[in-house]
Amino acid sequence: MIHPATEPGPDATTADAAGSGPTDPATPGSAAGGDRFGVLARMATAVAGGLLLFGSFPPRPWWFLAPIALALLTVAVRGPGTLRGGFGYGFLGGFAFFVPLLPWTGIYVGPVPWLALSTACAVFIGLWGVLARWLSGLPGWPVWLALAWTATEWARSSFPFGGFPWGRVAFGQADGWYLPLAAYGGAPLIGFAVALTGTGLAALALRVLAWARTPAPRAIGRGTRIGFATAAVTVAIMPLAGVILRPTLPAPDDGHRTITVAAIQGSVPRLGLEFNAQRRAVLDNHVRRTEELADAVDRGQSPRPDVVIWPENSSDIDPLRNADAAAEISEASQRIGAPILVGAVLVNGDRTTTNSVMVWNGAAGPADRHDKKIIQPFGEYLPMRGFFRLFSSYADQAGYFVPGDGDGTVTAAGVRIGVATCYEVAFDRAFRESMAAGAELLTVPTNNATFGRSEMTYQQMAMSRVRAVEHGRALVIAATTGVSAIITANGEIAQQSEQVVPAALVAQLPLRDTTTIATRIGAAPEATSVILTAIGVALVFFRRRRANQAQVSRSSQNSE
């Protein structure tokens, strides 16, 4: 519930719009001046911020809307009033962001799961609103608010049920100036950079507004000039850093040797939850498209691949238990003359299932395999099944998948390949484990058939581009229905398929064994943001406590 902002802020010495001193009483959000902005205006600003943040995500190329969105959200949540008010404005902005971002989650199961997930994610933007209102009392508040944004994105990516990282700010920046920062701090650094630009923009706007309301003559004094300069530098520093660092990214052909890789998109008989009712047809489609590529190789129209990658669920018939499926895959591998990474659903002895990517070496059959480690709650498995089935008749359609425990890689044609199956690519830790195991190439086998022709596939491709830059590796997306893609180590899309059209992408890709700074430091950026945010909260607490003690002391002296 939105709570009117009527009380003083969490610290009577709230920092000014440039983050360097006490707030001007005329500044909106000033404790001394009251909430000049108004509750309805803050609500409208929060909604506008959420909608603009959605607009910054693929397939739209408007990445530059994200800092503006963060600026609007900052203006909405920052100011006088209770912490509950900060939560309310933040939640409202988050809801305006996630509802249009996630409708693909409800395409075939109705609006309840979609709106429930959007609400749960919006809670974390509300939490940021609480932190923003609390930390606004510190000098340099734009930096503190950007750290808090990164910390709350980490929280959303971790809790509950393993977290849901979809919609992290970094995943809307694959086409933007901030992308090179991924090589130096991964998705957390991009998120911090965008947030800092946004909070700096808010600081600059509030500073200008405060100056404009100053009674004539409006001479710009030294302190005001410093405030303007500080805010302007805060706005410009991160995007400029991204532009400056772009030449440091590896060239598309940089590597110690090359490998020819094919991504097969076989497509499915129909989209929707029932796509795998014709599991044999899906397998046949991928076999057929692989054999068509083999024919093109024989005619000299395509290079012969060293490795072929099929998507997730390309064989929902367990080839370890079904001789016909195994024979088909073996024949396809022999026909193309290369091992195939097969996305298969394997049935375990206890009737649970495993979402696996197996290396299939022709007549020799299966070899190395990656069992998906980060499985999707409410899809591949249902936590608290008895409880959630009360809310949706689709609950019992959730699977009984169990996570694997490998190192995130498979070896095919003598190459160590890092695998993040579909949902896993959203999580920082997935490819970190692959890189620690020596991955020279990355792949994202995915099945998007259950989400129709939605924006989900483009959002996932943007995540993959961020991961390619983060770890300095070429990356191959193989999707059942699209979009499959070849992505170079600098985040560029070298090839991509259309949706729901069978395709075979073939490319010669470099293998790299050097590592980026982001790979080497791992989770340090997120840990730093969480620790510093906690320190900021503690600083505000101690400042308030000291101010209260001083006030009590003065009151005692006056009474004497």
Active site residues: 312, 372, 422
Buried b (16+ CB within 10 A) or exposed e, 189-198: bbbbbbbbbb
Beta bridge partners of 257: 511
For the record, the structure tokens of 207 come out as 């500073």
CB atoms within 10 A of CB 240: 12
Q: From CA 248, how far away is CA 229, in angstroms rounded? A: 29
- The dihedral over CA atoms of 404, 408, 410, 411, expressed in degrees to the nearest 10, equals -150
Closest alpha carbon to 470 in 217, 228, 183: 183
Q: What is the β-pairing status of strands 365-371 and 353-361?
A: antiparallel
- Per-residue DSSP letters for 460-493? HHHHHHHHHHHHT--EEEEESSS--EEE-TTS-E
Pick the closest to residue 484 from 286, 334, 339 (CA basis): 286
- Note the Cα 526 to chain centre separation in Å: 13
Residue given tokens 């933040």 in the structure block: 90
Q: Which of 357, 355, 358, 337 is nearest to 346 (CA)?
A: 355
Structure-block tokens of residue 21:
């001193």
Assigned token pair, 212:
């404009």
- What gap in Å lies between CA 68 and CA 62, rounded to an integer? 11
Place of tokens 């190329």: 61
Question: Number of C-alpha atoms within 13 angstroms, CB side, residue 276?
Answer: 17
Please give the single-letter amino acid code of residue 232.
A
CB atoms within 10 A of CB 485: 25
Are the CB atoms for 25 and 235 separated by under 8 Å?
Answer: no
Beta strand 415-419 with 441-446 is parallel
What token pair was written down for 478?
């193989």
Cβ(36)–Cβ(6) under 8 Å? no
Give me 529's structure tokens: 């943001």
318: its two tokens: 């367990």
* Nearest of 22, 35, 85, 71 to residue 204 by alpha carbon: 71
DSSP for 93-121 reads HHHHHHHHH-GGGGTTT-HHHHHHHHHHH
> Edge-to-edge, what's the strand order for the sheet holding 475-479?
409-412, 415-419, 441-446, 475-479, 485-487, 493-496
